[in-house]
Structures are given as C-alpha cells and as structure tokens.
Structure 1
C-alpha cells in the first residue's frame, strides 16, 4: 500500500546501514527456497525505484523451475551463484515500451484531476523526446538543434540515438536492480548480480524481446557458509568523492 505522499515514516538509519553493509555478492547459496511472499515484496520494492519520467523501462523474468533454471545457469557460464541459487531473476531494460508506458502513465494517474503539465508531457513532449525516428533521423535532427540552442541556454542533451536509448533504459533498470537486492537483504536473503552471461542464449531461453537488454541476472537465496569469497574493501573516498 502506498503511503500518503506527505506522511513520512520514522526511519532507523542503523537498520538501513545494516542492510547496506551486510549486502554482499554471494557466490554459493543454500537450496532453501525463497518464500513467494518475500519474493513478491522484493519485486514490488524493486519497481518503486526512481526512473526516468516514471516510464518504468524494465521487466523481471523470475526463474524458479529447476530445468529452466539449470539451463539459465549454463547460459550464465556455469557460475556457482547461478548453479546454486534457488531463484534467478533476469532484469531487462526496455527501450521500446516508452510509448505504451506514456499512455499508461496517464491512465494510472492516482489523483482525480490530471494536471495539464502532466498531460502535455506524456502526450506531446515524451513522443518527441524519446522518439529517434526511422534510421535515427529524428534523433540526429534533435541533436543538431540541441547543439545550437545549447549555445545560449541549458538544454536536455539526448537521448539522441538508439545507443543512447540503451543507456537511458539501463540507468533506470539498474536502480531497480539495486532496490531488489537491498530488499532481499532486508528480508534476510542474499543476491549476486551477474554480468557474465551469454545474452543471446539468455534472451532466447526466456523469450525476451529482441530490443530487450539483459542488464544483469540476479541470483537470489539464503547464503551458504562459504557463499562470500573475500573480505569486502573499497578504494579511498578521497579519490572518488569530490566536494565542490
């Protein structure tokens, strides 16, 4: 259930820190299944991730059937995480759903009155902003216009091509993936995001549309005692965080 937008719950920052700090990429899992209600809650929390224009350019393919999971693990290069996890979730970025989702954004508007600016955005602005046109012609024209207009004032720079649309969709989808992994940890389960896979085989195996981008395959379950291989470490923040 969605809370009132103006009602903020009290947050225990120590509990959140425990979730974030105890999340690790687990390479071996117990065979214990993830309860359906836990999985459903984690997937719902994943879809609450921030995303561009609320166009939600993601899909989740949840694989639990033993035979299909074994074949998917093989497509994930036989990694231990893929072979031992009771659940594998292919997280897919979609660059081709924005038109339908723009319509859905209007249909699902949660208030009785639709603000004119919202109606204008999804009906008029989004169809221009995200449309690259045949052979990318419209995208090239928008890029040229942006270069000229950008000489005088700040303008949105892209996405101007199918490749930039891939980046656009993947950024939002990665945020959803992080929500999913943190939700699993909060429920006492673990995960491993895997980039090592044969995308062609994964897409064919799961029936993922041609323009879907498999951002990652997440293994999920209860961590085994030998599931974490090494001690966690990070680089010096002075090299990575810049206060201006």
Structure 2
C-alpha cells in the first residue's frame, strides 16, 4: 500500500535456484525422529506470514506441535498414516473470524510514525463494512442485494458477502502462507507432507481449536526417512490446464 523508495531492492533467487527449490519439494511420508530446531521453525513461520493475503488482514494462525505425548494423540486422528509420525506437526488454520482485530492491528502497528489518512479510513470504515456479515449473515444478505443493484452501473467486487464467502476468503490467503511454509522448510533441508486426511472433530478436541477456525492442513515436518516418497511425480501437461488468450 505504501512504497518505500529508499529501501534497497532485496536480493532475489535466480530462476534456476527457485526452480531447484520447488522441484525438490515432495510430499514425504516417512521421517527420522530427529527434532526440528526451534530457530528453524520460527524462521519458516516468519517466511510463511510474508505470503500475500487479502487486504493484509492475515487471516491465519498456526499451532506448532512438538510434544511427544500430543503427537502420539494426533497419530490416530490423522488416520494413523505414516506421515503423522513426524517429529513436528504444524496445524495450519484459516481464520475468517479475526478480521476485526486485524483491522485494528493494521492501524495500531503501522510501520510509520503517522498512519496515512486513507489507510486509517479503509481499516476503520471500508474494511469493517466489507467483511462484516452481521448476525445470522443478515448484513451479508443486504449487501448482496445492494451489490446487484449497484453493479448494474459499474463493475464491483461482489464478495465476500456471506459466511461461506468469508470461509473461502480466509482459506485462500492461508493456503498461500502454507506454500511459503513448505518451501521455507525445504530450504532448510527439512521435508514436509501436507496432510488433509484427519478427523476434524477429534482434531478440534485434541488441539482445542477455536470454533470458527478452519483447519486446512496438518503439516508434517522433519528429516526425510527411507522409502519416504511413495510414487514418481506426475503432473498433467500444461496444455490440458492452461488457456492462452
């Protein structure tokens, strides 16, 4: 939102380096018991939250599970799959419920001495109206009708205007952070496996996940073990999935 012309341009990885990092990442199903150092975990989480996200409201949270007893409880919750025996599991949660506090945080934690008027106005008025769906979603219903009328005259952003829209809104940004997180661990030499195979009801009990938070994956992390990549990589040809216009 605000440019900083005096800041040096950060060093960038070459295309070859980036390709090598991305190509080296595989879903690893078996890990050694070697623990992941806290400094590495923190560094990777710091890189995760640098991911682009909607209106900089950062609708995500993470639970870092290292305790052996808690990891043992998670194993059956994750359908007893091999990847769930990793020495580290990070629960990646989308948070459609944190936008109010995030709006306040942007203003309170703005990285300049003065908060620009347009920033203060957006996060104190525009964003709260945009993301508030009201009790039982009634405000969202009203906004949907309002948008339909206003869009007859000009293009408008039509979502999020429902509870379901807010869930999708949060999941999209959180998925970007999760990809950053996996690549960050890969750069440190640690393998990962994003697990979607888990019992969400039991997961919420074990980890005491807030009611409105959405567990989008459990990320297993550790040193790669033997026979840990089950199959060769398969990606469909770009021609099947890309349209050039």
Identify the range of structure 1 (98-107 vs 148-157) with the bigger mean alpha-carbon deviation: 148-157
Residue equivalent to 2:207: 206
Alpha-carbon spacing, 1:91–1:5, altered in 2? closer, same or farther (3 Å): farther
Residue equivalent to 2:61: 59
The C-alpha deviation readout for 1:30-86, integer Å capped at 9, x for no partner, is 111111111110111011111111111111001011110011121111111002x11
- Asked if residue 142 in structure 1 is aligned to residue 139 in structure 2, the reply is no
- Distance of 2:147 and 2:210 partners within structure 1: 32
Give the aligned length. Answer: 240
- Distance of 2:137 and 2:7 partners within structure 1: 39
Structure 1 unaligned residues grouped into runs of 5+: none
Residue equivalent to 1:161: 162
Residue equivalent to 2:35: 33
The C-alpha deviation readout for 1:121-176, integer Å capped at 9, x for no partner, is 10000110000011111101111111111122110111111111110000011111
List structure 1 segments (4+ residues) > 6 angstroms apart after TM superposition.
none
Residue equivalent to 2:243: 242
Residue equivalent to 2:216: 215
Residue equivalent to 1:182: 183
Residue equivalent to 1:47: 49
- Distance of 2:125 and 2:24 partners within structure 1: 45
- Distance of 1:190 and 1:11 partners within structure 2: 20
The C-alpha deviation readout for 1:69-120, integer Å capped at 9, x for no partner, is 011121111111002x110010011111100111001111101221111111
Aligned residue runs from structure 1 range 122-137, under 5 A? 122-137=123-138
- TM-score w.r.t. the length of structure 2 is 0.95
The C-alpha deviation readout for 1:195-228, integer Å capped at 9, x for no partner, is 1111111111111111110011000011112110
Aligned residue runs from structure 1 range 71-82, under 5 A? 71-82=73-84
